[in-house]
């Protein structure tokens, strides 16, 4: 197994089933991360995730889904993976995200690690805002205002 490139975590003060569902169901995930998806994550199925605000998107394929405990997706474009682990902590859930499998090296590796660490940390903070307070914080959108597609708000 390849060494993780990025690991980040956040305690979200909601039960694991609710937090897990937020990353499986795009009706929830679009409140704090990507803007569009062609369906819920399902084992072995490829899904498209779009960040319309930036004019980008990509496919993911669920390689492992352990209800309320773990999600592993592969990014088929480059074979990298992202894993979410959901660890119950009383009435809260510790979410740990690990990104693995890049082929980058040198300066490209540093840039990719930095971008992924920022991105996944914002995703966790956004999920916390949404799940705990019902606020769609637009953290991902606001993180790169100069990259927004014209007309996006």
Q: Identify the pLDDT of residue 101.
A: 80
Report which of 131, 109, 1 is spatially closest to residue 63, judged by C-alpha positions: 1
CA–CA separation, 85 vs 135, rounded Å? Answer: 23
39: phi then psi, degrees, rounded to nearest 5: 155, 170
Q: Is the pLDDT of residue 1 over 50?
A: no
Q: Is the pLDDT of residue 33 over 70?
A: yes
pLDDT digits (tens, 9 = 90+) for 56-86: 999 999 999 999 999 999 998 888 899 999 9
Domains and CATH numbers, the chain: 4-147 (3.30.530.20)
- Among residues of the chain, what percentage have pLDDT more than 70? 97
User: What average pLDDT does this structure show over 82-96?
Assistant: 97
DSSP 145: G
User: What angle, rounded to 10 degrees, do the helices at 16-24 and 106-133 form?
Assistant: 120
Q: Which residue has the higher pLDDT, 127 or 107?
A: 127
pLDDT digits (tens, 9 = 90+) for 117-142: 899 999 999 999 999 999 999 999 99
């Amino acid at each position: 197994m390849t060494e993780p490139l990025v690991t980040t975590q956040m305690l979200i003060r909601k039960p694991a089933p609710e937090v897990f569902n937020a990353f499986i169901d795009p009706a929830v995930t679009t409140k704090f991360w990507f803007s569009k998806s062609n369906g819920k994550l399902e084992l072995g199925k490829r899904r498209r995730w779009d960040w319309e605000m930036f004019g980008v998107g990509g496919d993911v394929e669920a390689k492992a889904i352990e209800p309320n405990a773990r999600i592993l997706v592969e990014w088929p474009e480059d074979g990298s993976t992202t894993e979410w682990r959901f660890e119950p902590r009383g009435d809260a859930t510790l979410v740990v995200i690990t990104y693995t499998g890049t082929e980058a090296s040198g300066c490209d590796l540093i840039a990719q690690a930095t971008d992924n660490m920022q991105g996944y940390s914002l995703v966790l903070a956004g999920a916390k805002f949404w799940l705990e307070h019902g606020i769609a914080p637009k953290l991902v959108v606001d993180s790169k205002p100069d990259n927004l597609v014209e007309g996006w708000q």
